[in-house]
Each structure stands twice: as C-alpha cells, then as structure tokens.
C-alpha cells in the first residue's frame, strides 16, 4: 500500500505543480446547454496560463478573475483563480520543485495512518479559506452543469478537474494524502467518462494517462493483487496517451510535457527529459524553476560540470530583481543536493548552511537545509559539526519528520540509504 500511494502521489504532483487546469478549445458552435467554454474565455485562459508559467501570478489572477466576472455561472473562473492561489502559495513555500515529492520525509506520518482522523499540516488560514471557498463554488457549478446534461463531456471534464485540483492541493499543501487519493480517484473516474463520451477530448488523457502509467509501473505482484479489484494499467499506453496530447496540440500540451519530464527520468530516458526542459527554458525565460530543474536533471545524469555551471549562473542573479534572486534559498538547497550526489561534502554542507541563512529563506526549507547539513557532515566524518546542526534542528518547529531525523542523528551518525 505504501508503494502504491507514494508513487501515485509523487507522479501526480509532478503533473500538477506547474500547470493550470485546461479546457478543451471550442471548435464548433456551443449549444446553450453545453459547458464548452466560448472562444473569448479560452483566450483569457491562454493569457493567464502563459503568465502562470512565467511566474507572473498577478497577471494570471487578473485574467482568471475576468473569466469569473464575465461567465459567473461557469466553473472555469472559480477553478482557475483557486488554482493560481494554490500555486502561488506553493511557490512561496518553495514547493514547486519535483524533487521534494520524491523525498521520504515529505510523506512522514502517512505509512500506517488511517483515513479517519487524518489531520495533515496546518495551512495559512487566509489561503486555505479562499481556496476552499472557490473550489466549493466551482464544484457546485460543475455539478449543476452535469445534472443539466449528463452527456456533456465538457461539464464532466470540469467536474473531474475540480477533484484533481483538490487532490493535488491536499497532497502538496495540507499533506492529507488519504483525502488526496480519494479526490484523485473521483477526478480520474470523471475523465474516463469524458473519454467514453468524446474519445478525442485529449485534455482528459492527462489524468487518465498518468493513472495508466502509475498502475502499469507497479511491481507485478502488486499489479496482480489490485487487478482482482478491477484496477488495471499499462505504462506504455499511459505514455502514448500523454504524447497524444502533445501530438494534437491540445490546450494542456505543456502540462503533458511537464509530466513526461518525470516519467522519462523514471524510465531512464534522460535526453528526452532534457529536451523538454530546454524547450521550456527557452519559451518561459522568466521561470527560473525550469532552469533549476534542468540543472538538477543534469546532475542526476552525472553531467556535473554542466550542472554546477547552471547552478552558479542562477546564484549570480542574487543581485538582480529576478524571481530567482528571491528564491536563493531553494537554489542553494538544490545545488547542495547535487554537490552531495557528487560526494563534494564540504561544498554541499556550505551551500546547505548558506540556504538556511538567506535573508528571505522560507522557514521550513531552512530547517530541512540545517538537517541536511548535519547529515552531510556525518558523511564527511565531521561528527562534531553534524551534532551541532542536529541540536539546532531539534529546537526549531517540526517540518515533516525533521525532529525525528535530528534525534536519530544525535544518537548515531547518519548513513546514506542504499
């Protein structure tokens, strides 16, 4: 169970962290009873979507608020505004990096937990309240459209999108993984119904393709077990479905590319992943996160000279007004992880400590940086320095399982897992 849920959540977040939920473009006259969005709405969404990919959240929100104002009965406006509120919040928390969701610590407390009584993490009240109010409104409007016409694929698509965004929010922000899985399942069900009604509704293949890949990628004994419950998948089919979105230039083609970055890395196809990242860095120059992902991907391939040069280039922006300059703690943290991978332990510890001391360092990331500094010192056989960092972490607010890891580090030196 642990393997299934962690894999599903990890890959789902790779998809969701950079994207806005898309809508099928209008190509034919829209019946009055259909939820198919008009072309003017689609154009506003495209502009907001491009702004989102360039980390211009203010422009993105303004465009989506205009959709809410002009089409108040359609779920799109509420959904898009909620989505941008969530993504901007993740950006401020330094959680728009896929590597975070491959870390065991992020899932601390989930193994052995039960759905009833799941508490998760507290979320900033203003953000949580506004997000959930908009999502409740979007859900009500989507359900109204579905009930008005059960055979309208657009209405079902938006309902599935509501559940999918809720799932991603619960996992990435509130860390309520049972709730995330429950909502994610509803989203997939809705999009599977969409494809039965309209097989060429390529946007719906985003969640369905992910589902196929995740289930198809499980170990055979697990696949055999869940197949008895009617759960089946095929990873090759999932990849084909995601590529079909790109081939048909659907509205969410870039979202499919984001997902394929993680999948190609998992499938040991690094060049395919790098090609997508290089394309993104060219088309979205203001989004330093793609450059950061590119640097991390180069490091994973042991192309250390290129990787380190990319990290150093980002650090040089510290004196500018670029978004990268405002997230130097995240850049240094990822740089430190890459240095640690190359066993440059002294330099890695130096970057972890520098990340924790950045003037605008996010508190949670600073704690994790101090913890990682302690672990790296242990790997470098510098026990006194390691203990000093574990003691500091033990006095800070708990982040995931940071205090437990610090206490373990105080009892015995950290050893890298095989």
pLDDT in tens, 281-337: 999 998 999 999 999 999 988 899 999 999 999 999 877 778 888 899 999 999 999
What lies within 8 Å, CB to CB, of 7 at 6+ separation is 214, 217, 218
Domain boundaries along the sequence of the chain: 1-284, 287-418
- Compute and round to an integer the Cα radius of gyration of the chain: 22
Please tell me the distance from the alpha carbon of residue 295 to that of residue 351, in angstroms, as a whole number.
15
What lies within 8 Å, CB to CB, of 286 at 6+ separation is 54, 55, 56, 322, 323
Out of 6-10, 102-106, 118-122, 325-329, which region has the weakest mean confidence (pLDDT)? 6-10
**pLDDT reading at 393 higher than 90:** yes
Please tell me the distance from the alpha carbon of residue 241 to that of residue 366, in angstroms, as a whole number.
39
Stated pTM of the model:
0.86
Note the pLDDT of residue 1: 41
Q: Of 1.10.287.70, 1.25.40.10, 1.10.260.40, 3.40.50.9100, which CATH number belongs to 287-418?
A: 1.25.40.10
Q: pLDDT higher for 74 or 16?
A: 74
Q: pLDDT higher for 398 or 31?
A: 398
Please tell me the distance from the alpha carbon of residue 265 to that of residue 330, in angstroms, as a whole number.
21
28, two tokens: 């034919």
Percent of the chain with pLDDT over 70: 85
For residues 212 and 233, is the Cβ–Cβ distance under 8 A? yes
Please tell me the distance from the alpha carbon of residue 246 to that of residue 243, in angstroms, as a whole number.
5
Note the pLDDT of residue 179: 87
Nearest C-alpha neighbor of 333 from the set 381, 380, 299, 384: 299
Note the pLDDT of residue 61: 97
Q: What is the mean pLDDT of residues 92-118?
A: 73
Please tell me the distance from the alpha carbon of residue 3 to that of residue 181, in angstroms, as a whole number.
13
What lies within 8 Å, CB to CB, of 410 at 6+ separation is 387, 390, 391, 394
Largest CA distance in the chain: 71
**pLDDT reading at 217 higher than 80:** no
Note the pLDDT of residue 142: 97
Please tell me the distance from the alpha carbon of residue 145 to that of residue 262, in angstroms, as a whole number.
34
Please tell me the distance from the alpha carbon of residue 376 to that of residue 382, in angstroms, as a whole number.
9
Q: What is the mean pLDDT of residues 349-369?
A: 96
**How high is the mean pLDDT of the chain?**
86
Q: What is the mean pLDDT of residues 57-67?
A: 97
Nearest C-alpha neighbor of 90 from the set 58, 124, 62: 124
Q: pLDDT higher for 117 or 19?
A: 117
Q: How far is CA 177 from CA 41, 112, 347, in A?
A: 33, 12, 35
Out of 31-35, 188-192, 297-301, which region has the weakest mean confidence (pLDDT)? 31-35
Of the pLDDT bands very low, low, confident and very high (cuts 50, 70, 90), residue 91 is very high
Q: What is the mean pLDDT of residues 382-398?
A: 97
Note the pLDDT of residue 112: 61
């Amino acid at each position: 169970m642990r393997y299934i849920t962690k894999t599903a959540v990890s890959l789902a977040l790779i998809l969701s962290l950079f994207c806005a939920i898309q809508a099928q473009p209008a190509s034919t006259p829209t019946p009055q009873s259909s939820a198919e969005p008009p072309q003017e709405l689609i154009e506003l969404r495209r502009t907001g979507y491009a702004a989102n990919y360039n980390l211009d959240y203010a422009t993105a929100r303004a465009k989506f608020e205009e959709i809410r104002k002009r089409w108040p009965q359609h779920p799109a406006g509420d959904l898009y505004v909620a989505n941008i509120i969530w993504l901007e919040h993740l950006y401020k928390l330094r959680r728009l990096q896929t590597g975070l969701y491959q870390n065991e610590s992020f899932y601390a407390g989930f193994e052995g937990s039960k759905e009833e009584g799941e508490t998760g993490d507290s979320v900033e009240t203003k953000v949580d309240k506004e997000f959930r109010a908009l999502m409740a409104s979007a859900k009500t409007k989507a359900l109204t459209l579905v009930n008005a016409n059960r055979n309208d694929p657009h209405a079902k698509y938006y309902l599935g999108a509501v559940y999918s965004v809720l799932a991603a929010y619960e996992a990435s922000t509130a860390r309520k993984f049972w709730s995330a899985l429950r909502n994610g399942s509803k989203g997939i069900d809705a999009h599977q119904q969409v494809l039965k009604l309209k097989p060429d509704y390529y946007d719906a293949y985003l969640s369905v393709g992910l589902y196929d890949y995740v289930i198809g990628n499980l170990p055979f004994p697990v696949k055999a077990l869940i197949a008895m419950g009617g759960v089946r998948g095929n990873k090759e089919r999932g990849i084909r479905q995601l590529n079909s979105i790109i081939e048909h230039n659907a509205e969410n083609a870039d979202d499919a590319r984001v997902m394929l970055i993680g999948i190609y890395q998992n499938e040991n196809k690094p060049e395919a992943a790098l090609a997508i990242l290089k394309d993104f860095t060219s088309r979205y120059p203001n989004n330093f996160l793609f450059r950061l992902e590119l640097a991390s991907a180069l490091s994973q391939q042991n192309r250390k000279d290129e990787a380190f040069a990319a990290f150093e280039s980002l650090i040089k922006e510290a004196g500018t007004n670029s978004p990268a300059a405002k997230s130097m703690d995240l850049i240094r943290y990822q740089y430190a992880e890459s240095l640690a991978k190359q066993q440059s332990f002294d330099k890695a510890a130096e970057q972890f400590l520098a990340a924790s001391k950045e003037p605008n360092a996010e508190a949670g990331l600073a704690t994790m940086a101090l913890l990682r500094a302690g672990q790296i010192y242990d790997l470098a056989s510098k026990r006194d320095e390691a203990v000093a960092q574990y003691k500091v972490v033990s006095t800070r607010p708990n982040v995931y399982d940071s205090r437990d890891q610090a206490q373990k580090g105080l009892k015995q030196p950290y050893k890298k897992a095989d």
